[in-house]
Amino acid sequence: MDLRGLDMRRLPNHVAIIMDGNGRWARLRGKSRIEGHRRGRASVRAVVELSRKLGIPYLSLYAFSTENWLRPKDEVNALMGLLRHYLAAEQPKMMRHGIRLLAIGEKSRLPAPVLQTLNQAVRATRKNKGMTVVLALSYSGRHDIVRMVQGIARKVKEGRCAVKDINERMVSGHMETCSIPDPDLLIRTSGEMRISNFFLWQIPYTELYVTPTLWPDFREGEYVQALKEYQRRRRRFGRTDEQIDRGLSSLVQPGGLENRI
Ligand code: FPP
């Protein structure tokens, strides 16, 4: 893998990935969709490993959307099996490398054995201080927003907060992603130009990178390409080039969104 040209001081703090194209990868090879997901799991391993080696603190993976429950039962079952196997098999490595696992989404919809393995892995890794891997499982960006509205409405109703006190920081604090910074880079494989109900609130100034490469083929080399492209982008967060040149970029750091507009 060629890391030349990658500026190790300007890596993203948080990379989010919409892993797409497992089915097409399989169809192109006359294999079953499940074989595509199996190969996709190897790409998951590759990006987690490289993120860790590079020192990227947060990696979020959109592994299963709420809409994915509508897929044929066999495929859903196979995906759940792969997920469970991945969680069990990778846990020793996560402990060895200090990886903390977080899961977001409607976890209660997961089959009991998967939920059990997931909870166990989250619990076991919760004190790890290395990188954080966020698995979005049965996740829906809109659902996350609905839950946030319910949470804040409840506080207002109970008199614990006034309507005028609702601000962006409070909204972020009621999302499932409350403990993680907004992504700096969102990668989508397989060429589709969509967000597909992944992070909606969290990506106002996230750099988007779409590659035609199908997820099972997205390995270290492709990931490095995406990171290099990210480093070529000029992030202005709504400001002008001139302001950035004058050094106002120091104000534009992850943290409160209020600082960025
Ligand atoms: C999208 O491809 C991929 C998924 C719906 C599932 C992603 C799952 C994995 C990569 C494997 C297991 C996950 C982990 C975290 C170990 P698609 O089926 O929508 O492809 P298509 O659009 O070509 O049909």
Q: Which atom of ligand 1 is nearest to the CA of 214?
A: 23
Q: Residue 131: inside a domain, yes or no?
A: yes
For 7-64, write each residue's pLDDT tens digit: 999 999 999 999 999 999 999 999 999 999 999 999 999 999 999 999 999 999 999 9
* Residue 257's pLDDT band (cuts 50, 70, 90): very low
* Cα distance between residue 76 and residue 131, in whole Å: 29
* CATH number reported for the structural domain that contains residue 93 in this entry: 3.40.1180.10
CB 211 within 8 A of CB 191: yes
Tell me whether residue 212 is in a domain.
yes
Task: Give residue 259's pLDDT.
Answer: 34
Type of residue at 237: F
Average pLDDT estimate for 60-83:
97
Largest interatomic CA distance in the chain: 60
Domain range spanning residue 212? 14-259
Please give the angle made by the CA atoms of 79, 96 and 111, to the nearest 5 degrees.
25
Ligand 1 neighbours, Cβ below 6 Å, are 19-24, 37, 40-41, 44, 61, 63, 68, 79, 82-83, 86, 135, 190, 215
Calculate mean pLDDT across residues 115-132.
98
CA of 233 to the centre of ligand 1 (A): 28
> Tell me: the pLDDT tens digits for 95-105?
999 999 999 99
On whether residue 5 sits in a domain, the answer given is no
Per-residue tokens: 85? 């196997």
Q: Report if residue 6 sits inside a domain.
A: no
**Is 2 inside any structural domain?**
no
Q: The tokens of 53 are what?
A: 């080696």
Residues 141-154 pLDDT 10s: 999 999 999 999 99
150: tokens are 């319910």
Q: According to the model, what pLDDT value does residue 225 have?
A: 97
Q: What whole-number distance in Å separates Cα of residue 180 and Cα of residue 101?
A: 12
Q: What is the 3-state secondary structure (H, E, C) of 28-90?
A: HCCCCHHHHHHHHHHHHHHHHHHHHHHCCCEEEEEEEEHHHHHCCHHHHHHHHHHHHHHHHHH
User: Is 60 inside a domain boundary?
Assistant: yes
- Determine the distance separating the centroid of ligand 1 and the alpha carbon of 20, expressed in angstroms: 6
Which tokens is 86 given?
């991945």
Is 245 one of the catalytic residues? no
Mean pLDDT of the chain: 94
> Is residue 8 one of the residues assigned to a domain?
no
pLDDT score recorded for residue 249: 53
The structural domain count of the chain equals 1
Q: How high is the pLDDT of residue 247? A: 78
The reported pLDDT for the residue numbered 72 is 95
Q: How confident is the model at residue 256 (pLDDT cuts 50, 70, 90)?
A: very low
* Average pLDDT of the segment spanning 243-253: 68
Share of the chain above pLDDT 90, in %: 89
Q: CA dihedral defined by 159, 164, 168, 174, rounded to 10 degrees?
A: 10
Nearest-atom index, ligand 1, CA of 61: 15
Q: Residues 152-173: pLDDT tens digits?
A: 999 999 999 999 999 999 999 9
Give kind and range of the element (H or E) at residue 208. Answer: strand 207-210
**How confident is the model at residue 106, as a pLDDT?**
97
**CA of residue 175 to ligand 1 center, whole Å:** 24
Helix axis angle, 33-54 to 220-232, nearest 10°: 60
The amino acid that residue 32 corresponds to is S
Per the annotation, the verdict on 182 as an active-site residue is no
CA dihedral 213, 28, 139, 104 (to 10 degrees): -60
Per-residue pLDDT for 215 more than 80? yes
Give the strand pairing for 185-188 and 207-210: parallel
* DSSP run (H or E) holding 251: none
- Residue 9 domain-assigned? no
